[in-house]
Amino acid sequence: MSQFSYQDGVLHAEGASLAAIAEQFGTPTYVYSKAQLLANYASYADACAGRDALVCYAMKANSNLAILDLLARQGAGFDIVSGGELLRVLAAGGDPRKVIFSGVGKSVDEMRLALSHDILCFNVESIPELHRLNEVAGAMGKTARVSLRVNPNVDAKTHPYIATGLKANKFGVAFDDALDTYRAAAKLPHLEVAGIDCHIGSQLLDDAPLLEALDRLIELIDKLGEEGIVLHHLDIGGGIGINYGEAGEAAPVPVGDYLGRLFAKIDAWRAARYEGKAIKVIFEPGRSIVGDTGVLLTKVEFIKHGEEKNFCVVDAAMNDMARPALYQAWMDMQPVVQGKAGALTYDVVGPICESGDWLARDRELAVEAGDLLVMHSAGAYGMTMASNYNTRGRAAEIIVDGEVCHMVRQRENPADLYALESLIK
């Protein structure tokens, strides 16, 4: 059940009016629902109850410290892709022993940082990375726990920019090379081979590709076991999608249904071929936890009628929400106040000096200057992909808890943006 609903004709986040939020905090502003966030996390945690499983939130989706803190308090681990993200986890009170470090280009400094905090595991994506990590760990007198991110060459049937499991993608070790790579890892003195990982893509509405990828991982685990390389965990990644509200859009697979099918497959395999050995299951969900927890609240600056198009010019822009310009993503737009007559078809655009600066195209809206709009399902890949293009400060962030609004990130001003710059003297 969504925590964003109309009450007496005004859109609310839980018990707080978005019109009142705009008046108090200004626009553009990201507004998140605490209740929705916790409910989304619980859909994973409840399905994992009684099992040796760990939900590692993929914080690239949204890395606000308050969100990380709320999830850490629920027992979440974290999937990180940079040293900066690890520092965010620590600042939010997260447990580094529940952190997995993914990414194709980990630097020496990032490896040292992660080893110094004894993270759970490195998801290694190449043989050169294995050797670098072995050298760094040896120099520190430590042993690095590793899993290999295996590329199963499974088509996730998603946008090509967010597909990660095909042969042509930069991620992971090719499936056909994985066995030899595991053999090489097992011989390195400062590495402990701990698990196997894959992630085939994002915004998956069907779990069939994920279950196909699991079959390939199980096949490889069996081969490794025959050579005496026994793994302690299986990381199936993330990628479950959400609904963005487009007409005819397929409904996303319910998290509980997907995890039920996945655990059934794992249980059958362990009973038949893995001889009952224990293996932890790790998940890396991001969008499905935070995506529908947030909206982007924006104000209409001008209505512009062109020869071929009508434009609704708002104060949010592609620097605030990059997904439409980057992926041609469809995201639902609604007025904060219902009931106005005289709807026209508009492109909703921002003030940035680019024709690619658009948030929505061909939308039926009854709006005028000064009105408020929201972009729904904006909790994932909104603020984390935001930029300061055109010297625009990034938006404020608010978390609503019932009727109480908490500012969890202040709006940037121009002085913040050039504070690190200096003149030549």
Active-site amino acid positions: 353
Asked if residue 335 belongs to a known ligand binding site, the reply is: no
> Terminal CA-to-CA distance of the chain, rounded, Å?
59
Asked if residue 412 belongs to a known ligand binding site, the reply is: no
Asked if residue 287 belongs to a known ligand binding site, the reply is: yes
Asked if residue 301 belongs to a known ligand binding site, the reply is: no
Are 65 and 93 a contacting pair, CB within 8 Å?
no
Asked if residue 239 belongs to a known ligand binding site, the reply is: yes
Asked if residue 88 belongs to a known ligand binding site, the reply is: no
Asked if residue 149 belongs to a known ligand binding site, the reply is: no
Q: What angle do helix axes 65-73 and 83-91 make, rounded to 10 degrees? A: 60
What angle is formed at CA 249 by the lines to CA 244 and CA 253, rounded to 5 degrees? 80
- In this structure, what token pair is assigned to residue 315? 């104060």
Asked if residue 379 belongs to a known ligand binding site, the reply is: no
Q: How far apart are CA 25 and CA 18, in angstroms?
A: 10
Asked if residue 381 belongs to a known ligand binding site, the reply is: yes
- Say which residue the tokens 């050995």 belong to: 277
Residue type, 401: D
Are 205 and 238 a contacting pair, CB within 8 Å?
no
Q: Which residues are annotated as a binding site?
A: 239, 284-287, 323, 327, 354, 381
Q: Which residues are annotated as a binding site for pyridoxal 5'-phosphate?
A: 239, 284-287, 381
Q: Which residues are annotated as a binding site for substrate?
A: 287, 323, 327, 354, 381
